[in-house]
Homo-oligomer: A and B are copies of this chain.
């Protein structure tokens, strides 16, 4: 299991390599990148802040929950970036390997969905005329 929170650019191919296994025919991966628009506003860049030790702990818990729920999961990798990111930069990569493909999609989607709910990472979007902490207010 590869769990990482990093302030360096994420090397996607290395994350995919980390879940390769001879018994795993299926690898599903999700890559989250920085979009140039959010709720109609033009995004200039993004700032990610994390509660590092809790974020890594919670990322690991999410991955472990996925492995309990889909015991056929072979390997899981989750790498999340923090710091300042530009448009097109990779913010997160989730990759899982399984013997059969349906479970690879379900497990990968579970991990990214749950990550977005529980892992203490926050992003502040920077526009040309200001900044907003995403999802902070109703």
The interface of chain A, by Cβ under 8 A from chain B, is 12-13, 16, 20, 22-37, 87-88, 99, 101-102, 104-105, 108-109, 112
Query: Is there an interface contact between A112 and B101, defined as CB atoms closer than 8 Å?
Result: yes
How far is it, in angstroms, between the C-alpha of A88 and the C-alpha of B16 when the chains are bound?
13
With CB as the reference atom, state the residue of chain B lying closest to A22: B36
Contact B30 A26 (CB under 8 A): yes
Task: Give this chain's copy count.
Answer: 2
Whether A28 touches B25, Cβ cut-off 8 Å, given contacts A12-B13, A13-B13, A16-B12, is: no
Known: A22-B87, A105-B108. A16 touches B28 (CB 8 A): no
19 CB contacts below 8 A, A to B, read A12-B13, A13-B13, A20-B33, A22-B36, A22-B88, A23-B37, A24-B35, A26-B32, A27-B30, A28-B29, A28-B30, A28-B108, A29-B29, A29-B31, A30-B101, A30-B104, A35-B99, A37-B99, A102-B109
